[in-house]
Amino acid sequence: MPLPHLLRAAIAALATFTLVTSVTAQERARDLGVPFRGETGPLNAITDVEGIEVGHTTLIKGKGKLVRGRGPVRTGVTAIHPRGKNSTSPVFGAWFTLNASGEMTGTTWLEERGLVDGPILITNTHSVGVVRDAAVEWMVDQGWPAIWHAPIVAETYDGSFSDINGFHVKKRHAFEALRTATGGSVREGAVGGGTGMMCNRFKGGIGTSSRLVTVGKETYTVGVLVQCNYGRRDDLKQIASVPMDALQDAPLPCYEDPKLVPKSITSPLLCDDQENAMDKDGPDGSIIVVVATDAPLLPHQLKRVAKRPSLALGWLGAVSGDGSGDIFIAFSTAQNGKLQETSLSAGLSMYPNDDLTPLFNATIQATEEAIVNAMVAADTMVGINGFKIFGLPEERLRTIVGGHQKQ
């Protein structure tokens, strides 16, 4: 994209919202002693897969009563460049849906062709269209070699927490996430597309993790990034095989001011009435999982990898409810420079099918940890109509896993 266009986009965004694009030190699940399985990469992030860049644009504005078009706003965009923002080379990919109450654009073409062209973006449900249009414009401006584009844009719903029908995400916000994406540490929690999300009735959002896999003389990396917005409190049965019964009575999402509760909510939970709280039926939520690896997998093998986050959700206790959009995508950064449409007999490498199981294990392990990292990193936040979602109580989690290890 031309530099003046980017500068105008950044200036316009800064004038309207509080934007969060920098990375600062955050506590993660392993810092609390959670005994996850597997060996991580040096960053324990999707960016351990060489070349991947991640960017966020976080939109936070206003407080109090919901006024459509004005706020409060708690939303954003997350962008993932499989080969970095300066590359115009595709990657092999595949996708899988565990429950399809959600959206991931570009998947029919991905299914047919086995290639991911361009970036992968995640946002809120009602901003998929504008973010998809921004991704197309980005690809045109960057010179991606095709006459039309069908980029991957996924979503989860933040309408319980943000003015989703105010359509606050604009193309400039997607451009900002794409432009500022970098390698290195990835900011987690209530950032980017995950700003307004809730996970197991705790504050949720973006989380990431990675695993190293040695097969023969080769060591490969599997990285995962999630946008976590699924699950009831009683769905969280265990973390790293440690029972989570002692988390069940942690404060549930609630309304701070009874005067701000929408009339459509007939029996709201008020924050000063937590003693009588029950995890009542509500939206099932959703989760988007992005799996990356540098192992030379072909599309049919990546399809098998893309199914494995389902097992991580099962480890934690999720049931993938009727209204949950649980959609996963996997890609390989191998074969760089060999996947252009004009390449003939490119001499591709193929990972042995018989050795896929270690990659399956790594995907499951990294997905579980990424989900927990999302909850650990996300602090308590108040959204529309004084609706408050509490962060996962970190010291209680530390005590739970510490006590379990002493048994």
Q: What is the pLDDT of residue 405?
A: 76
Per-residue pLDDT tens digits for 11-35: 454 445 655 544 457 899 999 999 9
Tell whether pTM > 0.85.
yes
User: Would you call 324 a catalytic residue per the annotation?
Assistant: yes
Quick count: other Cβ atoms within 10 Å of Cβ 185?
16
- Residues lower than pLDDT 70 in the chain: 1-24, 276-283, 341-346, 407
Which residues fall within 8 angstroms of residue 314, CB to CB, at 6 or more apart?
none
H, E, C per residue of 22-49: CCCCCCCHHHHCCCCCCCCCCCCCHHHC
SS3 track for 315-370: HHCCCCCCCCEEEEEEEECCCCCCCCCCCCCCCCCCCCHHHCHHHHHHHHHHHHHH
66: CB partners within 8 A, 6+ apart = 72, 163, 262, 384, 385
Ranges of each domain in the chain: 3-406
Sequence-ordered list of residues with C-beta below 8 angstroms from that of 235, at least 6 positions apart, any chain: 200, 316, 317, 318, 319
Sign of the alpha-carbon torsion through 272, 277, 283, 285 = positive
**Which residue in the block uniquely carries the two structure tokens 């860049």?**
53
* Tokens encoding 12: 């316009």
Angstrom distance (rounded) from CA 292 to CA 220: 11
* Catalytic member of 87, 89, 320, 324: 324
Helices 299-307 and 357-377: crossing angle, nearest 10°? 50
- Which candidate in 163, 235, 294, 326 is catalytic? 326
Q: Among residues 278, 273, 240, 276, which one has the least CA distance to residue 376? A: 240
Report CA-CA distances (Å) from 29 to 23, 248, 286, 313: 17, 18, 21, 17
CA distance 241 to 276: 29
The answer to whether 331 and 222 have CB atoms below 8 angstroms apart is no
307-310 contacts at long range (C-beta below 8 A, 24 or more positions apart): 307/96, 308/360, 308/363, 308/364, 308/367, 309/98, 309/224, 309/363, 309/364, 309/367, 310/96, 310/98
**CA neighbours within 13 Å on the CB side: how many for 98?**
27
223 forms bridges with which residues in the sheet? 210, 292
pLDDT of residue 130: 98
In sequence order, what are the residues at sequence separation of 6 or more whose Cβ sits closer than 8 angstroms to the Cβ of residue 81? 52, 53, 54, 55, 87, 119, 178, 181
Catalytic residue, from 286, 310, 320, 332: name it.
286
Q: Give the fold, CATH level 3, of 3-406.
A: L-amino peptidase D-ALA esterase/amidase (3.60.70)
User: What pLDDT is attached to residue 266?
Assistant: 83
- The pLDDT value recorded for residue 171 is 98
